[in-house]
Amino acid sequence: MSRLQRSGPLFIDLYELTMAAGYFDQKITDEAAFSLFIRDYPADRRFFIAAGLAEVLDEVENLVFSDSDIAYLGSTDLFSESFLSYLEGFRFTGNIRAMPEGTVFFKNEPVLEVSAPLIQAQFLETMLINTIGFQSLIAGKAARCLYAAQGRGLIDFSARRTHSSDASLKVARSSYLSGFTGTSNVLAGKLYGIPVSGTMAHSFVTAFDTEIAAFRAFAASYPNSSVFLIDTYDTLQGAENAVKVAMEMAERGQRLVGVRLDSGDMVDLSCQVRQILDEAGFPDAKIFASSGFDEYKIAHHVQNGGRIDAFGVGTKLGVSADAPYFDIVYKMVHFKDRDIKKLSPGKANLASEKQVFRKTDPDGQYLEDVIGAKDETPPENSHSLLQPVMEQGRRQVAVAGLDEIRSHVARNLSCLADTYKELAPGGEYPVRVSAHLNRIQNL
């Protein structure tokens, strides 16, 4: 269990239940298949990173209506006694195939497919979109920050501005999967084992009569893990005060870890602060910084010769400010013996159960993805991205550890050409539909 609490079966849109009641009354128990995919790229994004599967499997395995759930549904007067009895015994007994967490994927590619009796498959819609969607959105943004940082450290500072504590946990986990080194979110540290990071706020500095008194007090408590916030009054004077206390610490055999900037021109200030630290004999003291960083501000800093060693990335990561949502949908693609297309204007989707084949060169670099039919012969030099994760309601895979997923992300990103990772929108990674799947669309 990697959250505070599961959402449970009532985290759905009502229509999933009213449709289920309709199917139940009509005795429709046939199998259906649904695809979860993203219809288009947000403005500057060109890839996504699959995240959230662990939570999905946990929810699905434990999808059981409690007595109070049934009592509430009964109180709405929307459901018959016989349907409520059916819900009391409801379990998910179907199959799920999914890309492993940490897999790079692209628009129109199913990141997950469900095949199950229609009521069950439909039932997962809201939870799947919510869980996979947000976490994949954040993991993708974190990967963009990682690319922009060119090896500098990244720490999730977003807890306060995320859209709830639950969202904050998902941001800490998703950004860590993509290569962040830690989080300020203590609850995420406890629940996921992510390294936690953080030292002092401006209020700490202002609680003392002078800035240097605040630094000395903090050093007394944290002789070997102090980072001083130096911009409360004047950043350069703050750096000088930090150096004074660092010297006092050195005399006691202690070591200042670094300083933090939180306002002003970060390129200019970081260079001046670096010089102050270096000249005072603290070349190993790090410069941390926070204040409105995202992939663009990080890239600007790096390209302009700034000297920040690690960025605290907060608000704009935590709400995915450039793209707080994307068009992720869950669509029925097969029912009984028919492949299903939806034809509403602008909302067409690929019928039939599918597989995503990733073609690579001999070094493993990604060449092209092919969206094919589930059971078609894979193209040469390709591997299949959707893997069975649940069969007949039973989990088929162990929960991957965060380190394992981090390695998977790192391998995936290293195999994706830089041109698709650039922040400015460039060409799209080639994704085509197989000839076989195309024929199915035109049947």
Report 76-115 residues binding a copy of itself (CB under 8 A): 76, 78
Residue with smaller CB distance to a copy of itself, 206 or 377: 206
Beta bridge partners of 289: 261, 311
Smallest separation, CB 192 to a copy of itself (Å): 11
In whole angstroms, how close is the CB of 364 to a copy of itself at the nearest point? 34
Q: Does 197 bind a copy of itself (CB under 8 A)?
A: yes
DSSP character at residue 97:
E
Give yes or no for residue 210 binding a copy of itself (CB under 8 A): no
Q: Are 139 and 323 within 8 A, CB to CB?
A: no
CA contacts within 13 A on the Cβ side of 120:
25
Q: CB of residue 433 vs a copy of itself: minimum separation in angstroms?
A: 20
The CA distance from 247 to 219, in Å, is 11
Near a copy of itself by CB under 8 A: residue from 95, 115, 130, 270: 130
Q: Which is nearer to a copy of itself, 336 or 411 (CB)?
A: 336
Residues 314-353 binding a copy of itself (CB under 8 A) are 315-316, 318-321, 324-325, 328, 331-332, 335, 340, 342-347
CA separation for the pair 387, 366 (Å, rounded): 19
Distance in angstroms (rounded) separating the CA atoms of residues 59 and 232: 45
**What is the SS3 assignment for 407?**
helix
Helix (H, G, I), strand (E, B), or coil: what is residue 310? Answer: strand
Q: How far is the CB of 204 from a copy of itself (least distance, A)?
A: 5
Report 235-274 residues binding a copy of itself (CB under 8 A).
262-264
Q: Between 248 and 368, whose beta carbon lies closer to a copy of itself?
A: 248
DSSP letters of 18-56? HHHHHHHHTT---EEEEEEEE-S--TT---EE---HHHH
We find the least distance from the C-beta atom of residue 417 to a copy of itself, in angstroms, to be 30
Does position 123 interact with a copy of itself (CB under 8 A)? The reply is: no
Q: Is 294 one of the binding residues for a copy of itself (CB under 8 A)?
A: no
19 binds a copy of itself (CB under 8 A): yes
Q: What is the DSSP string of 194-231?
A: PPB-----HHHHHTSSSHHHHHHHHHHH-TTT-EEE--
Of residues 287 and 416, the one with the C-beta less far from a copy of itself? 287
User: Which residue lies nearer to a copy of itself by CB, 168 or 412?
Assistant: 168
Residue 183 is encoded by which pair of tokens? 């989080």
Task: Closer to a copy of itself by CB, 328 or 413: give it.
Answer: 328
Binding footprint of a copy of itself, residue count (CB under 8 A): 98
In sequence order, the 6+-apart residues with CB closer than 8 A to the CB of 398 are none
Classify 187 as helix, strand or coil. helix
**Contact by Cβ (8 Å): 310, 30:** no
274, containing H or E segment: helix 266-279
Pick left, alpha or beta for residue 76 (phi over 0 → left; psi -120 to 50 → alpha; otherwise beta): alpha
> Helix 235-251 and helix 266-279: axis angle, to 10°?
30
Chosen residue from 95, 108, 185, 270 binding a copy of itself by CB under 8 A? 185
Q: Is 220 in the site for a copy of itself (CB under 8 A)?
A: yes
Binding region for a copy of itself (CB under 8 A) out of 201-209, 360-368, 401-409, 423-431: 201-209
Q: Which stretch binds a copy of itself (CB under 8 A): 15-23, 42-50, 106-114, 367-375?
A: 15-23
Site residues for a copy of itself, window 151-180 (CB under 8 A)?
157, 159-170
